[in-house]
């Protein structure tokens, strides 16, 4: 049998839990971690006579998302009932959107191996989450082994975001999922906590011989709640499908689950068992009408998107795509940088980006801190850069002071006050005598002393060994405790050695 | 006794609410055979009556304070059971009051709840025979049905077991039992009254309304229950309206002729409501009533509602579709009936629902699931929605020629218990004149207009345009000022009663 080259086709459906105060159709809280059923009100329990009332906050989040991906926010969309029985589904139906979703179309750009690719979205719709079944470690009222239902999650607002089948590798799928994850967090509509299930993906995977137009039969892998599992599940599923076909078998359309321990997907239900959900418009809810003014109002309050900031920073300040990419990785970091930019002259933007991408980023990673909680504040960065520019301190000293402020802030009992202090940088420079030595006389004195102590290096330099010059500079800097202005040291040393 | 007279007696301290409440509780107890009530809790009622008396003593009463009312058991209530006349909810206790109950009760108008009235299970039925607690009996003849689904409420009002009652109307469930029991009932415009706390049957058709002896009493009750409710998205925001404001006023305010108060009123008479199948005695009574309206100054014009016949198939597609979904929550998992025989989840569902629901409910769930299923949705559900819109348009065409529409509530008077229960289709056909007002969302009412030779009441139906309840009540009130049909008492009096 000749070796066929296979092409992988992937579409993703992502459930992003929306950050609202209350549930999508009731007033109950959606905070994570409450005791079972503590956050389930009469509506969530589907008690007789209860009715859903739409949470407009969830709608605003959907509009925000729609605007961010350049989609059409539907002027009218419809909530529909998806009917099926399950113990964690109190009403016997889930309120979702079916034929008329709130967000239609749109795209998200991803980058894989330096190549930019556009991922088209089909739609995004609002729906309610179901509750949870408690099977393990659950005891009945008399201590017997039993199953329980926790309806705290029931009614939590979800935005289900569906792509076209346009991804061609697990890497692309993960790149898209990460980009989407960053975007929903950036927009402040989802906390992105994958462990708690706030952001979870279903992957539709199929394979076809390269060049074939028709799609192969797809399988849907449900509930992938980490990027690692998403990648592994797709890779294993692709492998399974290819092997199946190459062995003369045929892929059956079905829903599968990924078992990360066994590193394999296994069948959950086949299409034949697929339920007829008997969708129909929910008569308890009016069609969702979204006026253009409402969209405009939300647009006006939208944060600048990562892409827009990257372009602006590259064009205005000439920052590298690497630096801008790093600085827009999360919103807190980008905001921090925006604050720094407000405090400095344009020509300091580049050194600022270097400091942020270097010292600042690594310190944050080390402490697993978000930028808004970093002990070094934008004012400190600005002062450090100013003092470096005006020659008060060297780059090296600047980094040292950075570390000192970081430690100071981390240990401060009252971080806010001690740290927001303006002039802290100057204070440290003065207290620790870190001011750069730019006085010619003072530097000459140090140079003379070093030349006397290192006759061998002097001789070597004069006999043509360039390296010896650097060794002398090193000695001079060391003797000055790093404070000598390196430029001046260079010039003066050259003069002395002539 | 009417709300108006009782109000006078209460504020003049001739009677206390406790006395009134005790009087009705005794009557209810004596008339148990009528099976009008599903749950009565005398202590709770009397506690409310004492509260009402206090309010009256303090001068903090409203028009309805201290007056008793009974609630159809489709409204959930704290204290009383809320069963929807189903085994499924046989012992269900609601932790909250329906909006209608709240608005009429101690936190609102101060009315005293006498208990919960019998009905067809989940409001599905036209005879009250589909109750898990047995049928309520027609007080005019105990062998006959009282109509449904708000049968218990109609019986309670007609037999003097309450002053007034709440009902709900999805396809005629206020109007038809009101007609069969000789009382007045109004189904308001869809969205007028909150559905929160009403155990849902068909959400896009269900509407709550009052049932009493007279139109003027219904107007007072409308004042108490109408209004936007933030807990029901389909309730409609309107300016506060006094539904009693037009009572007694001439239709045309420039007309000062007291003997012809309805001068200028155009009554549309849909010819389809008088087609074959209409009982002859009912036809004669309606024609007499129309003559009475003409005597009061109104003019009758013939109009057409060409899709009247289609309202039956349309209704019996849409209502079951919504019901099949609305009733999915009764699964035995969280509350309500759970079968004792099950080995796994699927069996728990199947047995709980098989044992918990009655035959008619199961029939409609099956029909509903069928018309929503893949491959049938377009042919049934979507098609029915299209015709529903046409039916609503037909009404608007008719209202260009008239102010209100009048005709029979039902093609027949009450039938014998058991007579139609073996033939659901025959029962469905009885709804032909009431369904279209629900499909269009229009307000419609029933008022007593005569009796057949066996002494069974006949009801006249009036359908108004959207939000014209006050005008309809005005028209009905003039009719009731000129006639005595509404004040007739059932011969079948409560045993041992000397009132």
DSSP string, A25-40: SSS-B--TTPPTTTT-
Say whether both A421 and A472 belong to one domain: no
The last residue of a domain, from among A276, A294, A312: A294
Tokens in use for B419? 């007579």
Q: Say yes or no to pLDDT of B349 above 60.
A: yes
User: Mean pLDDT across the stretch B118-126?
Assistant: 97
Q: Give the integer Cα–Cα distance in Å for A343 and A326.
A: 20
pLDDT given at position A418: 52
Asked if residue A1 is part of any domain, the answer here is no
Tokens in use for A453? 């102590």
Say whether both A123 and A206 belong to one domain: yes
Tokens in use for A301? 């309050």
Say whether both A15 and A90 belong to one domain: yes
Q: Give the integer Cα–Cα distance in Å for A371 and A364.
A: 7
Q: Say yes or no to pLDDT of A419 above 80.
A: no
Q: Give the integer Cα–Cα distance in Å for A3 and A22.
A: 55
Is B386 one of the annotated active-site residues of the chain? no
Q: Say yes or no to pLDDT of A417 above 60.
A: no
CB contact at 8 A, B206 and B188: no
Nearest to B325 among A47, A83, A90 (CB): A83
Q: Say yes or no to pLDDT of A158 above 50.
A: yes
Chain B contacts in chain A segment 226-255 (CB below 8 A): none
Q: Label residue A13 exposed, middle or buried (CB < 10 Å: 0-12, 13-18, 19+).
A: middle
* Contact between B334 and A90 using a beta-carbon 8 Å cutoff: yes
Range list of H helices, A154-194? 170-186
Domain that holds residue B393: 1-499
How many A×B Cβ pairs under 8 Å?
99
pLDDT given at position A352: 93
Chain B contacts in chain A segment 108-137 (CB below 8 A): none
Mean of the per-residue pLDDT values of chain A: 90
Torsion of CA B194, B199, B203, B207, to 10 degrees: -50
Domain that holds residue A462: 440-497
Say whether both A462 and A362 belong to one domain: no
User: Mean pLDDT across the stretch A309-328?
Assistant: 91
* Contact between B349 and A91 using a beta-carbon 8 Å cutoff: no
pLDDT given at position B185: 98
Say whether both A97 and A232 belong to one domain: yes
Is B149 one of the annotated active-site residues of the chain? yes
Say whether both A490 and A371 belong to one domain: no
Percent of chain A beyond pLDDT 90?
60
Q: Say yes or no to pLDDT of B239 above 90.
A: yes
Residue of A nearest to B231 (CA): A53
Distance from CA of B315 to the nearest CA of A (A): 15
* Contact between B333 and A93 using a beta-carbon 8 Å cutoff: no
Say whether both A247 and A310 belong to one domain: no
The last residue of a domain, from among A294, A324, A358: A294
Catalytic residue among B16, B17, B45, B72: B72
Which residues on chain B are in Cβ contact (under 8 Å) with A54? 233
Tally of structural domains, chain B: 1
Residue of higher predicted confidence among A8 and A359: A8
Here the ipTM equals 0.96
Band (pLDDT 50/70/90 cuts) for residue A146 is confident
Say whether both A272 and A404 belong to one domain: no
Kindly report the number of other CB atoms within 10 A of residue A70's CB atom.
11
pLDDT given at position B286: 98
Q: Which range is least confidently modeled, B425-429, B451-455, B464-468? A: B425-429
Mean of the per-residue pLDDT values of chain B: 96
Kindly report the number of other CB atoms within 10 A of residue A140's CB atom.
10
Chain B contacts in chain A segment 278-317 (CB below 8 A): 278-280, 283-286
Asked if residue A299 is part of any domain, the answer here is no
Say whether both A260 and A353 belong to one domain: no
Say whether both A110 and A196 belong to one domain: yes
Say whether both A13 and A131 belong to one domain: yes
Q: Say yes or no to pLDDT of A258 above 90.
A: yes
Interface residues from chain B to A (CB-CB < 8 Å):
75-76, 82, 84, 89, 92, 94-96, 98, 195-200, 202-204, 230-234, 321-322, 324-325, 327-329, 331, 333-335, 345, 349, 369, 372-374, 377, 381
Tally of structural domains, chain A: 3
Say whether both A322 and A285 belong to one domain: no
* Contact between A46 and B334 using a beta-carbon 8 Å cutoff: yes
The last residue of a domain, from among A272, A294, A316: A294
Nearest to B82 among A48, A53, A278 (CB): A48
* Contact between A283 and B381 using a beta-carbon 8 Å cutoff: no
User: Pick from B189, B181, B182, B192: which is nearest to B147 by CA?
Assistant: B181
Q: Please state whether beta strands A219-224 and A72-73 pair in parallel, antiparallel, or not at all (unpaired).
A: unpaired
Q: Say yes or no to pLDDT of A414 above 70.
A: no
Distance from CA of A317 to the nearest CA of B (A): 52
Model confidence over A264-274: pLDDT tens digits?
A: 889 988 766 67
Q: Say yes or no to pLDDT of A390 above 90.
A: no
Which residues on chain A are in Cβ contact (under 8 Å) with B335? 45, 47
Report CA-CA distances (Å) from B67 to A370, B49, B187, B215, B473.
64, 8, 21, 17, 21
Helices A292-300 and A56-68: angle between axes, nearest 10 degrees? 70
Residue of B nearest to A281 (CA): B322
User: Mean pLDDT across the stretch A365-389?
Assistant: 87
Q: Say yes or no to pLDDT of B494 above 70.
A: no
Distance from CA of B390 to the nearest CA of A (A): 19
Q: Say yes or no to pLDDT of B333 above 90.
A: yes
Q: Say yes or no to pLDDT of A3 above 90.
A: no
Percent of chain B beyond pLDDT 90?
94
Kindly report the number of other CB atoms within 10 A of residue A34's CB atom.
14
Q: A322 — contact with chain B (CB < 8 Å)?
A: no
Q: Say yes or no to pLDDT of B329 above 80.
A: yes
* Contact between A49 and B234 using a beta-carbon 8 Å cutoff: no
Q: Which range is least confidently modeled, A23-32, A469-478, B152-161? A: A469-478
CB contact at 8 A, B141 and B455: yes
Q: Which range is least confidently modeled, A219-228, A432-441, B40-49, B181-190? A: A432-441
pLDDT given at position A420: 58
Model confidence over A166-220: pLDDT tens digits?
A: 999 999 999 999 999 999 999 999 999 999 999 999 999 999 999 999 999 999 9
Distance from CA of A12 to the nearest CA of B (A): 25
Range list of H helices, B336-423? 345-356, 359-372, 383-398
Instruction: Specify whether the backbone of A46 is left (phi greater than 0), alpha (psi in -120 to 50) or beta.
Output: left
Q: Say yes or no to pLDDT of A498 above 80.
A: no
Which residues on chain A are in Cβ contact (under 8 Å) with B230? 53
Band (pLDDT 50/70/90 cuts) for residue B424 is confident
pLDDT given at position B33: 96
Is B72 one of the annotated active-site residues of the chain? yes
Percent of chain B beyond pLDDT 70?
98
User: Mean pLDDT across the stretch B147-151?
Assistant: 97
Q: Spell out the residues 6+ positions from residue B42 whose beta carbon is closer than 8 angstroms to its own.
A: B25
Band (pLDDT 50/70/90 cuts) for residue B498 is very low
Which residues on chain B are in Cβ contact (under 8 Å) with A149? 333-334
Q: Give the integer Cα–Cα distance in Å for A211 and A69.
A: 30
**Residue B299: CATH number of its domain:** 3.90.1300.10
Tokens 């269009």 belong to: B440
Q: Give the integer Cα–Cα distance in Å for B265 and B255.
A: 11
Residue of A nearest to B344 (CA): A147
């Amino acid at each position: 049998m000749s070796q066929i080259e296979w092409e992988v086709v992937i579409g993703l459906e992502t459930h992003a839990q929306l950050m609202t105060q209350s549930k999508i159709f009731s007033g109950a809280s959606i905070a994570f971690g409450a005791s079972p059923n503590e956050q389930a009100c009469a509506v969530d329990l589907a008690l007789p006579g209860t009715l859903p009332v739409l949470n407009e906050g969830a709608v605003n989040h959907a509009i925000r998302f729609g605007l961010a991906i350049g989609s059409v926010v539907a002027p009218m969309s419809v909530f529909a009932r998806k009917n099926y029985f399950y113990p964690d589904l109190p009403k016997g139906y889930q309120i979702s959107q079916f034929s008329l979703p709130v967000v239609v179309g749109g795209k998200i750009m991803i980058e894989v191996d330096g190549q930019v690719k556009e991922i088209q979205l089909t739609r995004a719709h609002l729906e309610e989450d179901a509750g949870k079944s408690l099977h393990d470690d659950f005891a009945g009222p008399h201590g017997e082994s039993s199953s329980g239902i926790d309806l705290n999650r029931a009614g939590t607002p979800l935005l289900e975001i569906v792509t076209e089948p346009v991804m061609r590798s697990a890497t692309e799928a993960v790149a898209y999922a990460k980009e989407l994850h960053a975007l929903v967090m950036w927009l402040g509509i989802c906390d992105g906590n994958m462990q708690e299930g706030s952001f979870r993906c279903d992957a539709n995977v199929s394979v076809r011989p390269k060049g074939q137009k028709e799609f192969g039969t797809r399988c849907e892998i449900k509930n992938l709640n980490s990027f690692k599992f998403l990648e592994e599940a797709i890779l294993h599923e692709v492998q399974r499908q290819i092997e199946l076909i190459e062995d003369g078998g045929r892929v059956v359309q079905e829903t599968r689950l990924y078992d990360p321990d066994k590193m394999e997907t296994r069948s959950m239900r086949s299409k034949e068992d697929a339920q007829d959900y008997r969708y129909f418009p929910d008569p308890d809810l009016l069609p969702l009408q979204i006026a253009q003014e409402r969209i405009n109002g939300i647009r006006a309050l939208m944060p600048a998107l990562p892409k827009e900031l990257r372009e602006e920073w590259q064009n205005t300040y000439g920052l590298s795509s690497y630096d801008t990419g790093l600085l827009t990785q999360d919103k807190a970091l980008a905001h921090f940088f925006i604050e720094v930019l407000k405090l400095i002259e344009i020509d300091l933007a580049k050194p600022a980006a270097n400091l942020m991408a270097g010292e600042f980023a690594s310190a944050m990673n080390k402490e697993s801190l978000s930028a808004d909680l970093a002990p070094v504040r934008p004012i400190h960065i600005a002062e450090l850069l100013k003092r470096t520019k005006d020659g008060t301190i060297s780059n090296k000293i600047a980094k040292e002071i950075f570390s000192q402020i970081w430690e100071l802030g981390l240990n401060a009992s009252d971080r806010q006050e001690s740290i927001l202090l303006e002039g802290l940088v100057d204070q440290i420079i003065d207290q620790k005598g870190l001011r750069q030595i730019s006085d010619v006389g003072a530097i000459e004195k140090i140079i003379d002393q070093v030349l006397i102590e290192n006759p061998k290096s002097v001789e070597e330099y004069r006999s043509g060994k360039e390296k010896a010059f650097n060794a002398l500079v090193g000695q001079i800097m060391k003797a000055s405790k790093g404070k000598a202005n390196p430029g001046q040291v260079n010039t003066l040393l050259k003069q002395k050695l002539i | 006794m009417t709300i108006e007279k009782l109000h006078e007696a209460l504020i003049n301290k001739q009677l206390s609410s406790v006395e009134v409440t005790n009087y009705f509780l005794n009557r209810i107890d004596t008339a148990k055979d009528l099976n009008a009530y599903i749950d009565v809790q005398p202590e709770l009622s009397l506690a409310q009556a004492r509260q009402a008396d206090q309010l009256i003593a303090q001068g903090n009463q409203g028009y309805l304070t201290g007056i008793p009312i009974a609630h159809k058991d489709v409204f959930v209530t704290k204290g009383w059971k809320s069963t929807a006349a189903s085994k499924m909810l046989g012992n269900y206790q609601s932790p909250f009051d329906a909006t209608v109950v709240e608005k009429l009760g101690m936190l609102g108008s101060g009315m005293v709840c006498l208990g919960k009235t019998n009905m067809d299970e989940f409001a599905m039925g036209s005879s009250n025979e589909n109750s898990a607690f047995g049928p309520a009996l027609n007080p005019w003849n105990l062998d006959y049905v009282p109509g449904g689904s708000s049968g218990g409420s109609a019986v309670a009002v007609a037999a003097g077991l309450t002053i007034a009652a709440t009902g709900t109307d999805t396809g005629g469930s206020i109007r038809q039992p009101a007609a069969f029991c000789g009382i007045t009932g109004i189904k308001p415009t869809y969205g007028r009254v909150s559905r929160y706390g009403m155990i849902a049957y068909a959400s896009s058709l269900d509407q709550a309304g009052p049932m009493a002896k007279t139109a003027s009493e219904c107007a007072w009750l409308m004042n108490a229950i109408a209004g936007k409710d933030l807990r029901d998205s389909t309730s409609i925001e309107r300016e506060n309206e006094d539904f009693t404001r037009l009572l007694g006023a001439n239709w045309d305010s420039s007309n000062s002729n007291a003997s012809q108060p309805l001068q200028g009123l155009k009554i549309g008479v849909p010819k389809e409501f008088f087609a074959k199948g209409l009982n002859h005695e009912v036809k004669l009574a309606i024609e007499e009533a129309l003559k009475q309206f003409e005597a009061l100054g109104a003019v009758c014009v013939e109009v057409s509602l060409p899709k009247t016949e289609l309202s039956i198939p349309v209704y019996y597609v849409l209502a079951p579709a919504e019901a099949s979904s609305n009733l999915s929550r009764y699964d035995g998992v969280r509350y309500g009936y759970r079968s004792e025989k099950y080995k796994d989840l699927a069996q728990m569902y199947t047995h709980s629902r098989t044992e918990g629901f009655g035959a008619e409910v199961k029939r409609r769930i099956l029909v509903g699931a069928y018309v929503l299923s893949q491959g049938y949705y377009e042919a049934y559900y979507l098609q029915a929605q299209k015709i529903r819109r046409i039916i609503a348009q037909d009404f608007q065409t008719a209202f260009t020629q008239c102010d209100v529409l009048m005709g029979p509530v039902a093609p027949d008077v009450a039938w014998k218990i058991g007579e139609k229960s073996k033939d659901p289709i025959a029962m469905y056909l009885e709804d032909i004149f009431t369904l279209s007002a629900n499909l269009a969302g229009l307000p419609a009412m029933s008022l007593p207009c005569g009796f057949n030779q066996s002494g069974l009441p006949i009801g006249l139906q009036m359908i108004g345009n959207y939000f014209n309840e006050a005008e309809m009540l005005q028209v009905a009130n003039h009719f009731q000022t000129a006639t005595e049909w509404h004040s007739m008492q059932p011969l079948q009096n409560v045993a041992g009663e000397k009132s």
